[in-house]
Structure formats: structure tokens, C-alpha cells
Chains A and B, each alone.
Chain A
Amino acid sequence: MAVSAPQQATGQVATRNRREPKNVFQRAYRQWADYTYIMPALLAMFFVIAYPIAYTIYLSFYSTPTAGENVWNGLTNYTSIITAERFWMITQNTMYWTIVSTILAFIIGTAAALVAQREFIGRGLVRGIFLIPWVISHVATAYIWVWIFHSDYGLVSGMLMDLGIISSPLVILDSTTWAMPALILVNVWKDFPFIMIMMLAGLQTVPEHLLRAAKIDGASTWAQFRHVTLPHLKGVIIITLLLTIVMNLNHFTLPWIMTGGGPASSTHIWITEVYALAFRSLRFGIASAFSVILFIIMMSMAYFYVKAMTAGDDRRR
């Protein structure tokens, strides 16, 4: 008897928990403490996010005349959006805006990170200066740049005129050709510090001993970057790119304040269009359907984001 008691005890421990969970419920049960921790956040999110989403989905199947009852009209909102040429024009704008902004901000942000990471006199100052665009609010940024681009009083136009490079005021934000590039320029100026910070954080974690090994192995500075730094930063790069893309797809303030979608809708992107449909034209049904389409697109981005975030988890388990 004296011998069997401890055996029983160890037997219990063995059966209780050390076996691979058989299904997702067992696994979830085993992690109940983790779920408890995130429960308050989940509840809050349910009320401020899930409910509006549900209501939006509901509205998207109705026609919403300004006067009178909402009328069920099935998928009509959706079909009318997708078949309209305007939708594809605005999609094109959105892609242009998102892709060019992301790529430029990424290149400049990464370059800034590489500069700011080096040890040189005045590094702190340079880092500080690089951060300025990021700490200015979007609204202030928008108004500053509206003035800079202004054709009569603006800095750009004025300077070029003073220098005699151009003879008549430069039309920028009122030009269907130049308005979007100007917006993208401001957006890149505003966003590159974010990418710089992300990349700087990544760069700090590049293992020193790997760089040393590469130096011994005869790698040039570029080869060290290419074979050690870059592979190490892969995860950070993917996540930063995804975040920046989503940020740009959803970006409202700069285009709305600086051009309001104009001229001739040349700077309208999805999100400004939805806003205009809902709160200018008061076509809530159409706007809701549009939102649902965007929601689906964003969620598929989120899927990749979560996948990138949790990459390697399975190996570790």
C-alpha cells in the first residue's frame, strides 16, 4: 500500500494533461486561463464593433430612401456598385494610392532606419527630426500641405516662380494629374517614420554574433545585409507592409481634407467614397453595401496579417 500511493499520484498527473489534445475544444479548454484574460477586451469589442458591423450588413440589403421606410431590395445595392464604372475608377485610385504610398514609404522608411541605426554624432537629433511628421496630427498635416501646394500663396508654386523656373502659378491639388501624386507625397512624408520605427526595432534584434560570423566568412557590408539582416527582418517586413497597406487602404483624413476626392473624383478612394455616399448623399443602403465589400477585402488582409504574426507557431508546438 505504501508503495502504490505515489504511483497513483504520478499516474494522475500523466493522464491529466500531458497528452496531445485530441480536438480544438480540448485545446481551448486547456487554455481557458488565456481566454479569461482576453475576455474583457472581447466583450468590449463585441459591443463597439460587432453590433455596428451587424447593423451595416443588415442595411446593405435595403434601399434607404431619405423619407419613409427602408425597403428590402436583396443584392441590388451590391450589383449596382460593382457594375458601375465609377466603382472601378475608384478602385483604381485606391490601388494607385495604396501601392505607390506603401512602396515609397517603405523604401524611405527603411533607408531612414538604416541611417538612424548607425552610430554617429548627432544620431539622436536625426532620429528626432525623422519622427516629426509622425507626431503631427493628420488634420494639421493636411492643412499645412494644402497651403504648401496652394497655387497662389503656396510655398512650392511661389518658390518656383521666384526662381523663375515657372512663369504662371503651379496648379497641383486642382489638377486631375497631379492631385494624387501630391497626396501620395504627403502620405509618404507622414508614414515613413512609422516604417522607420518598425525597422529600427527589427534592426536592434539582429543577432550580433551572426553579423560577426558573416564578417569572418568574408561578407561585404551589402552581403551581411543581404544574408543576415534581411532574412532576420523578414517577419517584421511582412507585418510592417501589411499594416501599412491596411492603413493606406483605410486612409481617410488626408484625401478628404486636402482634396475631398476631387478634382473630378480623381482622388476619391474607397473610404472617401463610402463617406461621401453615406453622409453627403445620405444613401445609407448603398454605403453599407460598399462598406461590406471593403470589410471583406480588409478581413482577407487581416487573415494574412494573423498568419504572418503566428508564423512558426506550429513548429514550436
Chain B
Amino acid sequence: MAEVRLDGLIKYYDDVLAVDDVNLTIKDGDFVALLGPSGCGKTTTLNLIAGLIDLSDGEIWIGDRDVTDLDPKDRDIAMVFQNYALYPTKTVYNNLAFPLQMRKTPKNAIDERVRKTAEMLSITHLLDRLPRELSGGQQQRVALGRALVRNPRAFLMDEPLSNLDAKLRVQMRAELKRFHQTLNATMIYVTHDQLEAMTMADNIAVMSDGRVQQYGPPEEIFYDPANLFVAGFIGSPAMNFLHGEISTENGVTSVKGDPGWVYPLTPANAQKASHCTSGRIIIGARPANLILSREEHPGMIPGSVYTVEPTGDTTFVHITIGDQIYVAITDPFFRAEPDDPIWVDLEDDRIHIFDEATEEVLREDGLNSQSIHGKKTLQPA
């Protein structure tokens, strides 16, 4: 296993800039998820690492080797494809054996490896079947097996679970995580499913528009988003964003919301807001950090109930403030009628302050260490 380093990767498809200056170091033995919405360049990045497509600029290092100009077969990586890409005319056994045969492994060693891998994945009874005689989940295992059968320097996986049903996905997620832990393998895992990324990865690289927006452990991505995109992309239901203007009266800094509300900031949050250059900020508050009240209290934001969705464990309350709808998570027994007046308070030490102009998070010390501008190789924190 080895460290993988991406240095200023750029990929143009004709005029389309698919990957825009990606710098990442994936530590030896790390499970890194490339997470982002559809079309953000995850697959392209993975294919660049694999050597399946040519890059426009940048360097790729695997371990202490510069593999930028090497063929895929010389990079010593294994890959699991979204649609499995099993060889349709080969039996499961031969699918697993193929990467070893291509590397001129002796026959009995191949047999041993194939059987061991099949056992690990519980597919021994399927070895004589053709891929089309397997269920989706079984094909997925075989595809995984074809990667695990070798000892590559890194595993690349492109949404390997996306074709499975919800239940199987949860099960395979746990299995994958176990494999990673037992093999101590370097894995780069592409997904657009934040739950997969959050549950499995040691570090997550959140991508958007071909750029890495933030790179760090799941907790950091969730609790300390670097910018508006990461804040809005991670978490379900999504974070609420309240836009407003900063104003200071009698030494108290408040945010004047667009539809006429005023929300006073704590000294710590005021300190963050003081770094704002444009005078307008966005307050980011996760649904769980909204506190609802039926009575008016000073410093709360007035709104009205839009609808109430009980989900069992919790209840989602949609609230209209001005012309925007926000979501709060409340206790499971909260009930209200549409258009009931309601007041919203925020958990002040859990909210995030963003500069409306730059969409970057504002911190107390004014520094945003995770801001990804400039050519700098990101090390996970």
C-alpha cells in the first residue's frame, strides 16, 4: 500500500474544465471519499489517478513513484467500477483470476489467491457461474473480489454501491469498511452519497465544479464547513441559511434579516462577523440547531408554520420566514397547524457565519485554513 499524491491536476474535455487544480494527499492506508454532486468531476479525478484518461496538467504520485506518464497497468492500482465491468464470457473464477493471469502469476498461486478471496467475500459457491447468472449484489462482490485478489498499491472505487438496493447497500458499506480496516489498504472512493462518505471514510474531499472545496475528517466537514457549498451539501435535511446585514447598536452586534427580523449575535459570533468585508453575512444553522417557541421572546426570529412532518424518531417542522422556508428538527411529538405563528431561536455556539460576498466561512481569528485557493497540497487536518 502506498500514499497517493495529486498535484495540481487539471483536466479539460475540449472546452469543459472537468477537474480544476485538484491537490490532495491520500495517506498510506487511508480511506478517502471523493464526495460531490453529479458532474463535479469525481469520476474524472479517479480515472486520472487510474491513468484511464490523459491529464491536461499536473502530477500524480503513488508512493515514491511519479506515475503521471505510466499506463494503467504499470500503476499497480485496482479499480471497482460503478457498473462492475465483469467480463461477461468468463466465469466468476476466471474474472477473479484474470488480473493475476495478466501479471504472469504461477497457476497454483492464482488458484490459492482466487479461492482465498472468494472465501473472504463468501462467493465460493458462485465460482463456476457467469456474471449474468448473478444478482446485482453478487456481481458487486465479484467486482470487489477482482480488485482484492491482487495486492495493489491503492484501490480506486467509483460508486461501487450505487446499483444496489438500500438494504444491501447498508450491508456492503459495513463490509467495505471492515475490508479497509483489515487490509489497511489505501482506498479512494467516489460517491455522491454523503452517508456513504460520512460512515466509511477517514477523510472526505468535498468536490464541486472540479475543485476540492474541503478536505478533512467527516466530523470536521460536518461541524466545521469551510464554505457555503460544503455547509449546504453535507447534512440532511440541509443546513438553513439566513441572509442579513450586520449592524451594531449600543455595542451589540445583530443581524438584520431581509424580511425585517433582527437577531442579536453572541460576542463570539460578532467577532466572526467582524471579519466580513461586505457587511452582509449568512447565518448557517442545521435543522437540529433551531429552537422553536410558541411565544414571542426578545431576540427570536418570527415566522409561521408551513407544514409539519413527523418521521417517527423526530419531527421536521417547515417554517416560513419572509419568503423563505426553513426546516427545524424538533421532538417527535411537536404538532402545529399550518400558518400558526412561531418564533425561532438558534443555538448560538452551533451556528456558522459566512461572508455573503465570498461564501467563505468566517472564523474568530479571521483565518480560514481550509480555504482552497492557491496551489497548496491539502493534508487532512
Which A residues lie at the B interface, using CB under 8 A? Answer: 207, 209-210, 212-220, 223, 227-228, 231-232, 234
**Contact status A215-B87, CB under 8 Å:** no
The B interface, classified by DSSP as helix, strand, loop or mixed, is loop
By beta carbon, the residue of chain B nearest A217 is B99
**Contact status A227-B98, CB under 8 Å:** yes
Q: How far is the CB of B287 from chain A (nearest CB, A)?
A: 39
**Contact status A210-B73, CB under 8 Å:** no
A-B contact count (CB 8 A): 59
By beta carbon, the residue of chain B nearest A231 is B89
**Contact status B81-A212, CB under 8 Å:** yes
Q: How far is the CB of B71 from chain A (nearest CB, A)?
A: 7
**Contact status A227-B87, CB under 8 Å:** yes
Picked from A207, A216, A232, A234, the residue with its CB within 8 Å of the CB of B79 is A216
Chain A residues, CB < 8 A from B230: none
Q: A214-B87, A214-B102, A218-B103 are in contact. List 11 more A-B contacts (CB 8 A).
A: A210-B87, A212-B72, A212-B79, A215-B71, A215-B73, A216-B52, A217-B102, A217-B146, A219-B98, A219-B102, A227-B87
Inter-chain CA distance A217–B73, complex, in Å, is 6
- B77 an interface residue at 8 Å Cβ cutoff? yes
- B212 an interface residue at 8 Å Cβ cutoff? no
Q: A209-B81, A223-B102, A227-B98 are in contact. Are A216 and B72 (CB under 8 A)?
A: yes
**CB<8 Å pairs between A and B, sample of 30:** A207-B85, A209-B83, A210-B87, A210-B88, A212-B50, A212-B52, A212-B81, A213-B79, A213-B81, A213-B85, A214-B98, A215-B51, A215-B52, A215-B71, A216-B50, A216-B73, A216-B77, A216-B99, A217-B99, A217-B146, A218-B73, A218-B103, A219-B73, A219-B98, A227-B87, A227-B90, A228-B87, A231-B88, A231-B89, A232-B88
Within 8 A of A (CB), among B64-79: 71-73, 77-79
By beta carbon, the residue of chain B nearest A223 is B102
Q: How far is the CB of A316 from chain B (nearest CB, A)?
A: 10
By beta carbon, the residue of chain A nearest B47 is A212
Q: Which 3 A/B pairs are nearest by Cβ-Cβ distance?
A: A218-B102, A217-B99, A213-B85
By beta carbon, the residue of chain B nearest A219 is B102
**Contact status A209-B99, CB under 8 Å:** no
Q: How far is the CB of A226 from chain B (nearest CB, A)?
A: 11
Chain B residues, CB < 8 A from A223: 102
Picked from B52, B83, B88, B98, the residue with its CB within 8 Å of the CB of A217 is B98
Inter-chain CA distance A234–B88, complex, in Å, is 12
**Contact status B73-A212, CB under 8 Å:** no
By beta carbon, the residue of chain B nearest A212 is B52
Inter-chain CA distance A218–B77, complex, in Å, is 10
Inter-chain CA distance A212–B77, complex, in Å, is 13
Which B residues lie at the A interface, using CB under 8 A? Answer: 50-52, 71-73, 77-79, 81, 83, 85-90, 98-99, 102-103, 146
Most chain A CB within a 10 A radius of its CB, from B90, B98, B146: B98
**Contact status A212-B85, CB under 8 Å:** yes
Q: How far is the CB of B236 from chain A (nearest CB, A)?
A: 30
Chain A residues, CB < 8 A from B72: 212, 215-216
**Contact status B87-A216, CB under 8 Å:** no
Inter-chain CA distance A134–B371, complex, in Å, is 63
Q: How far is the CB of B78 from chain A (nearest CB, A)?
A: 7
Inter-chain CA distance A227–B101, complex, in Å, is 12
Q: How far is the CB of B180 from chain A (nearest CB, A)?
A: 19
Inter-chain CA distance A310–B73, complex, in Å, is 37
Chain B residues, CB < 8 A from A207: 85
Chain B residues, CB < 8 A from A216: 50, 52, 72-73, 77-79, 99
**Contact status B81-A218, CB under 8 Å:** no
Chain A residues, CB < 8 A from B78: 216
Inter-chain CA distance A231–B52, complex, in Å, is 22
Chain B residues, CB < 8 A from A218: 73, 99, 102-103
Chain B residues, CB < 8 A from A220: 73, 102
By beta carbon, the residue of chain A nearest B152 is A216
Inter-chain CA distance A213–B145, complex, in Å, is 13
By beta carbon, the residue of chain B nearest A213 is B85
Chain B residues, CB < 8 A from A232: 88
Chain A residues, CB < 8 A from B52: 212, 215-216
Chain A residues, CB < 8 A from B85: 207, 209-210, 212-213
Inter-chain CA distance A215–B70, complex, in Å, is 12
Q: How far is the CB of B340 from chain A (nearest CB, A)?
A: 39
Inter-chain CA distance A176–B85, complex, in Å, is 55
Q: How far is the CB of B80 from chain A (nearest CB, A)?
A: 9
Q: How far is the CB of A235 from chain B (nearest CB, A)?
A: 11
Chain A residues, CB < 8 A from B102: 214, 217-220, 223
